[in-house]
């Protein structure tokens, strides 16, 4: 008997991670130059590490209440400006991805449609399908703006939600305030939920980050602290939204994640007291260096947030063929079709050391001079 008979049907709707495919291609490389991973290269600030260790030593190692401890949740409510908003509630989640899974499972019925913007974070379509929904892509090429008129055209009687990500992964785009406001007005007009993934909100440079929550009080905000403070492996996420919706997410979390890791919860107030402005300035400098160096060979709009460049391939190449050549040269980057329907771009993460950025950008410039593959 084949063990495939035991596989759930829902797995047939899920596509293997394109990022994992790149890692599989690169598994035999001895010393890869890694510009692929979306993980900060700085260390967790000392005060946060010490608080987590102290929490372990003081025996805070068991379960907490599902929604998270009050000290952490209250600190986040203040940071998010909802401490005096009784109609909203906040839950700690197992990372931002865990928060998004809870949000979609709590809102999407089989057959519901969720609008996502192309290019999107690689997990969005599979998360939506896992919840029984249908991802509906809206193209944002070439400038990666928030195309409200295109979104309006995609709305049907089955549309349940619009999933946004600003600053964007992979585009680095920070949506302008007028576009955010227009999108919120459209969502209210149509009675559609806005889910706002704000994991990169700390990584904004010249342009102010604006949450849809400013214009639509029913927005469901999903975010986390791992990217901002360097503890991605601690799985510290949170979500806040209408109280009744968050209560449903709390109910689900009881049966899925139970709670956010306890020592990490105790470190949250300490983390929020840390000034990460110098780290953000460092990332702005990294962005400026690699964006300016690659601009002539790969013309692009300088990203306004996050820590990625989403670059067009030279004429004659596809994103897939370009990345394959990069991997042959021991450089890890991600093809654009991992993030959407087009195979015309590739993603570079500049969450890396200066030496790695120099080596990686040199290889990219060398490939740009090659004739395209036949």
**Mean pLDDT computed over every residue of the chain:** 94
* Helix, strand or coil, per DSSP, at residue 109: coil
Fold designation for 62-272: 3.40.640
Q: Residue 3: what pLDDT?
A: 73
Q: Residue 29: what pLDDT?
A: 77
Domains of the chain: which residue ranges? 3-44+276-367, 62-272
Question: Measured on CA atoms in the order 354, 356, 358, 361, is the torsion positive or negative?
Answer: negative
Counting as low any pLDDT under 70, the low residues of the chain are 1-2, 16-27
Same fold, 3-44+276-367 and 62-272: no
Instruction: Give the CATH number of domain 3-44+276-367; options: 1.10.1030.10, 3.40.47.10, 3.90.1150.10, 1.10.10.410.
Output: 3.90.1150.10
> Which residue in the block uniquely carries the two structure tokens 């596989």?
7
Bridge partners, 312 (sequence order):
345
Q: Residue 54: what pLDDT?
A: 96
Q: Residue 18: what pLDDT?
A: 62
pLDDT tens-digit map of 31-89: 899 999 888 988 999 999 999 999 999 999 999 999 999 999 999 999 999 999 999 99
Backbone angles phi, psi at 342, to 5 degrees: -100, 150
Nearest CA to 184 among 196, 167, 172, 173? 196
Q: Residue 127: what pLDDT?
A: 95
| Neighbouring C-beta atoms of residue 155, cutoff 10 Å | 17
């Amino acid at each position: 008997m084949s063990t495939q008979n035991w596989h759930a049907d829902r797995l047939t709707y899920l596509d293997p991670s394109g990022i994992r495919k790149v890692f599989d291609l690169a598994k035999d490389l001895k010393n890869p130059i890694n510009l692929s991973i979306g993980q900060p290269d700085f260390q967790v600030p000392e005060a946060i590490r010490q608080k987590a260790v102290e929490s372990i030593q003081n025996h805070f190692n068991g379960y907490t209440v599902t929604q998270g401890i009050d000290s952490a949740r209250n600190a986040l409510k203040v940071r998010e400006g909802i401490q005096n908003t009784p109609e909203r509630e906040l839950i700690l989640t197992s990372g931002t991805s865990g928060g998004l899974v809870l949000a979609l499972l709590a809102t999407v019925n089989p057959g519901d449609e969720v609008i996502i913007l192309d290019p999107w974070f690689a997990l969005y379509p599979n998360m939506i399908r896992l919840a029984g929904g249908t991802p509906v892509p809206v193209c944002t090429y070439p400038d990666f703006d928030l195309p409200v008129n295109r979104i309006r055209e995609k709305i049907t009687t089955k549309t349940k939600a619009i999933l946004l990500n600003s600053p964007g992964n992979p585009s680095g785009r920070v949506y302008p305030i007028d576009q955010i406001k227009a999108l919120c007005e459209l969502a209210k007009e149509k009675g559609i939920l806005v889910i706002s993934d704000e994991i990169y909100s700390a990584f904004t440079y010249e342009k102010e980050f604006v949450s849809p929550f400013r214009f639509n009080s029913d927005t469901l905000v999903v975010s986390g602290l791992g990217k901002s403070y360097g503890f991605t492996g601690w799985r510290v996420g949170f979500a806040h939204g209408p109280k009744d919706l968050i209560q449903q997410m709390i109910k689900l979390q009881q049966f899925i994640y139970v709670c956010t890791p306890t020592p990490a919860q105790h470190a949250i107030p300490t983390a929020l007291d840390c000034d990460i402005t110098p780290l953000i300035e460092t990332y702005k400098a990294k962005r400026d260096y690699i964006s300016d160096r690659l601009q002539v060979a790969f013309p692009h709009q300088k990203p306004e947030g996050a820590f990625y460049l989403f670059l067009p391939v030279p004429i004659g190449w596809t994103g897939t063929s370009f990345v394959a050549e990069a991997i042959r040269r021991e450089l890890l980057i991600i093809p654009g079709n991992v993030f959407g329907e087009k195979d015309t771009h590739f993603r570079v993460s500049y969450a890396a050391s200066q030496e790695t950025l120099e080596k990686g950008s040199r290889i990219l410039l060398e490939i740009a001079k090659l004739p395209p593959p036949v």
